Structure 1
Amino acid sequence: MNSRLIADIKGRLPISSRSLRGFRAQDDARYAQLLQVIDDQQKALGKAQESIDRLEKQCRGLNETLEYVHDSNSVMYWQLFRGDHETTEQAQLRFFRGLPKAEGIHALFQDAEARLFELFDQFCRDHEISYWGTGGTVLGAFRQRDFIPWDDDIDVYITREQLSRLEKAVREDGRFRVTVVWDWYVPCKQIRFRSTDEANPCFVDLFPLDWVSGDPEDAWRVCTQERVQYVQEIRRQYASSSWSRDIYISGADPLIPALESDLHAHLEDLAARVSILPTADGATGLVRGIENIDEVRPSGPYLTGDWTGSTTLPFRGIAVPVPSNYREYLSKAYGDYMALPRDMHSHEHVADDYIASPEAVQAMRRMLSDDGERTPDYEERK
């Protein structure tokens, strides 16, 4: 009998008890080694966590020290900057209002934006449509009475019912348009008031608000949760779609109906948990629409009494409606709103190549020339 046949027969026979004990011993040894590896890794993770905790504690200490030094220096600076018979806030306002203005193409864009805002404000007044300034527009109106020099857009809050009235009035008027762009980056639904001139890059951002009854703070919390769920859902649903590749979609894009349907479904779900009202009648507060871009810092809840008065702030001669507690709003939205922001050298809302094209420049000049004044020579202001 050859060796191959013997090996084949032995391979088909049951394993011996001695071999079985050997396998078990090997398994036990490997299992013990695995447990030791796990134990070592857990100890290493524990030590790493201890190091992280120490670093976090040190960072907190450093941050507290830096904040103390910053605050101390700020106090000393403002005291030195403050003139005779001038309060610290008056000195701060003098400082901000004396900052250099935007130059070159950015000056042209800001002037054209301001002109569009003026037209928007007058259009709303003519049609008895209410709105409020928000974000950097309120901050700029309070501090500079103008644009923040390194900012370049106009932000407006408008209730959903007033937005519908605006869209209808715009369609009937013919001079303006309300556009919608779905942004994958955030994601959000960008709603903008614009000129009918396709080459004109200027816009007023419109952020929808909803009236609510009941506890405004609870409504704000629920709406914030719904926003998170809404974003997570559309991220999953459209992860492999053309939207995730194109980033911005609008107009006749085939995905728009589905996106609008998804938004409507979430608004209906929200209405089942929060008492959303069509108008201010019986409302106790306002909440941000879940399709809006997220805030860096939550500025709500918004109480009806703070948003239904007649408070305005000047912005390049425009009396911009703002909440009566605009200081509290600014504190929530920006923290120390009299401090210089960290993005003053990096903020860019509209790309230079978009607003600096010959077509865009001519369109902005046309809009500025419509007011009867000579268009400034922006090349001299570079």
Structure 2
Amino acid sequence: MGRIWEYVYWRLPLGKRQFFDKVVDIKQAIENIKRAIEISIRDNYNYKNELYGKLESLTGEVKILQEENARLEKIITHYHKQDMQMFWQEYRREGESTADAQKRFFLALPEAKGVTRNLQLLEKDLLKALITICDAHDIPCWLYSGTLLGAVRHKGFIPWDDDLDTCMAREDIDKLRDILKDNTEYKLTVKYDPWGYCKQIRFCYKDSQLPVFVDVFPCDWACTATKETWEANYKVRMDLKAEMTDESNPFIREFRTVGCVDDNSAMGKQVAKIFDRYYNSLKEQKVLCDKEEAEGFLFGYDSWNPCYDSNINAVAQVFPLKRMEFEGIECNVPNKYMEILCELYGEDIYTFPCGEPHFLHADWKKNAKLLETEVKKRIK
């Protein structure tokens, strides 16, 4: 305190001195806070740099691991191909081509047994009903993914498969749902899945608690069948995923806590508005269009797709649909089904799986008795 101010200070009334003392204390507190903030910023900056350093190091390690994984996958694939070449050489009959030997082998594989077969029989029953209804109302519905592969390679289920995949144009799904409103045997369920960032659409029994269904994946008419169209669709899906995982949003946090919700529930209707916003965005960007204008056909942005395959085809690859046998049922398949299978699974679909095992959709063993009972009741 300066000498003049000290002289004045001690001649002020007690209340004034206390006031000025308080001001000095506050100013000191402010200075202390400023110093603390400066120290904190400096420490945080140093800590941030330390974290960035660790992150950079980890990123480098991840890159090394990815490169090593890619190298090992190449080695495994190489030896797998060698083993397969030797196997087909031994398996082939005299005068038989390798391609014919492969087809003969896969057609001769024994069908599934026990729980898996009971599940497949019930799914086949549902597929037959779905095709009958769709054919009666002129709704195009076709086999896709592993079910299409099974039809081509096995004339039915892949022995280790536990689900059925079908596709429809989005507007036809709405039409089918309306048709099934008063159906006493079957229904179409629509649920929003917060963990798969998708809309689950399933054809199933109406009066049964059986966890059996046929997946129905929506497809959209695209203006063009180009990489740019797929990329625009992919970006919208990634934007949807980002919103579905944003737990700073209380509603999203609640949705992810609750899990799958019916589209006609209160929460489902709110989630539907989010999904619709992204669909409308694709329309506004002129990625999607009406059927009459379409050159391409896109696997829906709101469909479950863990691999994010390109999943875009020229309309002529899908339509006109062809008929093919699946477990004794005449089913629709895409016009150029081999091209689509090669896009999904690679050039050689007549080979043993190499890599990840088949994705199991549920613990069906828990329902073994129920499945067995329902097969006896429903399958003639």
Bin for the TM-score computed over the shorter chain: 0.7 to 0.9
TM-score in terms of structure 2 length: 0.78
Find the partner of 1:283 among 279, 282, 294.
Answer: 294
1:157 aligned onto 2:167: yes
Comparing both chains, which one has the higher relative contact order based on Cα–Cα distances under 8 Å and sequence gaps of 6 or more?
1
Residue 200 of structure 2 aligns with an amino acid whose one-letter code is: Q
Aligned residues: 333
CA distance in 2 between counterparts of 1:211 and 1:341 reads 32
Q: Equivalent residue for 1:232?
A: 242
Kindly report structure 1 stretches of 4+ aligned residues shifted beyond 6 Å: 44-55
Q: Equivalent residue for 2:87?
A: 77
3-state SS of 1:291 partner: coil
Q: Equivalent residue for 1:205?
A: 215
Q: Equivalent residue for 2:257?
A: 245
Deviation at 1:354, TM superposition (A): 5.2
Seen in structure 2, the aligned counterparts of structure 1 residues 165 and 252 have a Cα distance that, compared at 3 Å, is closer
CA contact under 8 A between 2:296 and 2:315: conserved in structure 1? Answer: yes
CA distance in 2 between counterparts of 1:49 and 1:202 reads 43
3-state SS of 1:276 partner: coil
Q: Equivalent residue for 2:30?
A: none
CA distance in 2 between counterparts of 1:62 and 1:344 reads 14
3-state SS of 1:96 partner: helix
Q: Equivalent residue for 1:312?
A: 323
CA distance in 2 between counterparts of 1:277 and 1:45 reads 44
Deviation at 1:271, TM superposition (A): 0.7
CA contact under 8 A between 2:194 and 2:244: conserved in structure 1? Answer: no
Compute the RMSD of aligned alpha carbons: 3.1
TM-score in terms of structure 1 length: 0.77
CA contact under 8 A between 2:263 and 2:269: conserved in structure 1? Answer: no
Find the partner of 1:188 among 198, 213, 216.
Answer: 198
Seen in structure 2, the aligned counterparts of structure 1 residues 118 and 60 have a Cα distance that, compared at 3 Å, is closer
Deviation at 1:144, TM superposition (A): 0.8
CA distance in 1 between counterparts of 2:339 and 2:109 reads 24
Residue 267 of structure 1 aligns with an amino acid whose one-letter code is: Y
Residue 289 of structure 2 aligns with an amino acid whose one-letter code is: L
Q: C-alpha deviations, 1:28-67, integer Å up to 9, x for none?
A: xxx9xx99xx89x96x998888777766655554443333
Seen in structure 2, the aligned counterparts of structure 1 residues 60 and 362 have a Cα distance that, compared at 3 Å, is closer
CA distance in 2 between counterparts of 1:210 and 1:50 reads 40
CA distance in 2 between counterparts of 1:175 and 1:210 reads 28
Residue 75 of structure 1 aligns with an amino acid whose one-letter code is: Q
Find the partner of 1:138 among 127, 144, 148.
Answer: 148
CA distance in 2 between counterparts of 1:168 and 1:56 reads 48
Deviation at 1:296, TM superposition (A): 1.9
CA contact under 8 A between 1:297 and 1:334: conserved in structure 2? Answer: no
Q: Which blocks of at least 5 consecutive residues in structure 2 are unaligned?
A: 1-23, 25-41
3-state SS of 1:138 partner: helix
CA distance in 2 between counterparts of 1:153 and 1:233 reads 29
Q: Following superposition of structure 1 onto structure 2, how do residues 15-54 of structure 1 map, counting pairs within 5 Å?
A: none
Q: Following superposition of structure 1 onto structure 2, how do residues 62-73 of structure 1 map, counting pairs within 5 Å?
A: 62-73=72-83
Q: C-alpha deviations, 1:351-377, integer Å up to 9, x for none?
A: 22553253x543343221xxxx3xxxx
CA contact under 8 A between 1:180 and 1:189: conserved in structure 2? Answer: yes
Compare 50-59 and 72-81 and name the one that shifted more.
50-59
Deviation at 1:166, TM superposition (A): 0.9
Q: Equivalent residue for 2:345?
A: 334
Seen in structure 2, the aligned counterparts of structure 1 residues 246 and 84 have a Cα distance that, compared at 3 Å, is farther
Seen in structure 2, the aligned counterparts of structure 1 residues 362 and 60 have a Cα distance that, compared at 3 Å, is closer
Q: Equivalent residue for 2:309?
A: 298
3-state SS of 2:111 partner: coil
CA distance in 1 between counterparts of 2:358 and 2:277 reads 38
Seen in structure 2, the aligned counterparts of structure 1 residues 342 and 350 have a Cα distance that, compared at 3 Å, is farther
CA distance in 2 between counterparts of 1:302 and 1:167 reads 25
CA contact under 8 A between 2:263 and 2:272: conserved in structure 1? Answer: no
Deviation at 1:69, TM superposition (A): 2.2
Q: Which blocks of at least 5 consecutive residues in structure 1 are unaligned?
A: 1-11, 13-30, 374-382
Residue 348 of structure 1 aligns with an amino acid whose one-letter code is: L
Deviation at 1:321, TM superposition (A): 1.6
Q: Equivalent residue for 1:270?
A: 282
Q: C-alpha deviations, 1:285-305, integer Å up to 9, x for none?
A: 111222100142514321011
Deviation at 1:152, TM superposition (A): 1.2
Seen in structure 2, the aligned counterparts of structure 1 residues 55 and 233 have a Cα distance that, compared at 3 Å, is closer
CA distance in 1 between counterparts of 2:65 and 2:243 reads 36
Deviation at 1:275, TM superposition (A): 4.3
CA distance in 1 between counterparts of 2:227 and 2:62 reads 35
